[in-house]
Amino acid sequence: MADAGRSVSGAAQVNGTLLRYDVAGEGHPLVLIHGGLEDRRVWDDQFNTFAQHYRVIRYDVRGYGESLLVTPETQGTQTYSLRQDLYELLQFLEVERAYLLGQSMGAGLAADFSLAHPEMVDAFISAAPGLGGYEFIEEEYPLEAQIEDALAEGDIARAVDLTLQLWTAGPQRPLEAVSPAVRARVREMTLHNFERPDEENAAQPQPLEPHPLSRLAEITAPTMVMVGDQDVRDIQRIANLLAAYVPGARKVVIPDTAHHLNMERPDLFNQLVLDFLASL
């Protein structure tokens, strides 16, 4: 058993992939799930703090950070779901029930898991939330098309710069409004993900059906939704949907933050999470 002062890292071969994870602390399990531009290091400002109260588990989602997309034995032959990856990781770590905290893509995955395995979820915290079934209004984000063009041209450095402007700063702020340390950390994670080699013939993850957007009222776990006031409009719309349709959901807006709210205002973010979990 890990204690608050020491983390244990490992790799779990589950569901046709290899997932890298860290565990620290004792008590009720709290699982941290990162977003689509990052890896498990996005939780560096939360991991040790939360480990003073809970058994904290963070991991790299399949295809991100140090986790494989597929193992060589299963390349091109297997369909998969990210929620099944999480289920098998928790089985591997002997976790029967947990609190889930997801950011962006990770929040969407936590919503999927809360619907697929409600008996395993004791609380659902959704930060800068993504959500299965929700379609973004693409014309609101001209930078997104520029990011896709830069990646298609192999200009990874420009693609990373554009993602920092759109997501880390948000559409209303100059990038300089975000601290250099936060920008550097997000840049490092995003660059690593963009530079990963593509696995040829890799299967695509299977979405949850029916999609979560139509099933929010079925989420039974106590829920808190957290969003930055500088995040893109669609993320704020998703936060409003979760707050409106998940029974009893609590919404919190963190000022002067965008998509990486937990990195920009870690002290406030951490206290909000700890207060919410302590209230259960």
Does residue 108 fall inside a structural domain?
yes
123 and 273 Cβ atoms separated by less than 8 Å:
no
Return the CATH number at 68.
Answer: 3.40.50.1820
Which structural domain range is residue 84 located in?
7-136+199-278
- What's the angle, vertex CA 269, arms to CA 266 and CA 273, rounded to 5? 135
Q: H or E segment at 118?
A: none
Please report, as a single letter, which amino acid is at residue 236: Q
Residue % of the chain over a pLDDT of 90 = 88
Lowest mean per-residue pLDDT among 83-92, 132-141, 247-256 = 132-141
pLDDT at 173 (0 to 100)? 96
Does residue 178 fall inside a structural domain?
no
1 has a pLDDT exceeding 50: no
Indicate the number of domains in the chain.
Answer: 1
Does residue 186 fall inside a structural domain?
no
Q: Which of 96, 113, 135 is nearest to 61 (CA)?
A: 113
Strands, E assignment, 64-114:
98-103
Query: What are 216-272's pLDDT values in tens digits?
Result: 999 999 999 999 999 999 999 999 999 999 999 999 999 999 999 999 999 999 999
Does residue 162 fall inside a structural domain?
no
Distance of alpha carbon 93 from alpha carbon 57, whole angstroms: 9
Query: What are 13-23's pLDDT values in tens digits?
Result: 999 899 999 99
Q: Which of 16, 8, 245, 260 is nearest to 131 (CA)?
A: 245
Residue % of the chain over a pLDDT of 70 = 94
Does residue 228 fall inside a structural domain?
yes
pLDDT at 6 (0 to 100)? 84
pLDDT at 264 (0 to 100)? 98
Distance of alpha carbon 187 from alpha carbon 253, whole angstroms: 25
Q: What's the half-sphere exposure (Cβ side, CA atoms, 13 Å) at 74?
A: 15
58 and 21 Cβ atoms separated by less than 8 Å:
yes
Does residue 163 fall inside a structural domain?
no
pLDDT at 157 (0 to 100)? 96
| Residue 142 burial (C-beta neighbours within 10 Å; 0-12, 13-18, 19+) | exposed
Range 31-67 burial, b when 16+ CB lie within 10 A, else e: bbbbbbbbbbbbbebbbbbbbebbbbbbbbbbbbbbb
Does residue 159 fall inside a structural domain?
no
pLDDT at 139 (0 to 100)? 81
Does residue 249 fall inside a structural domain?
yes
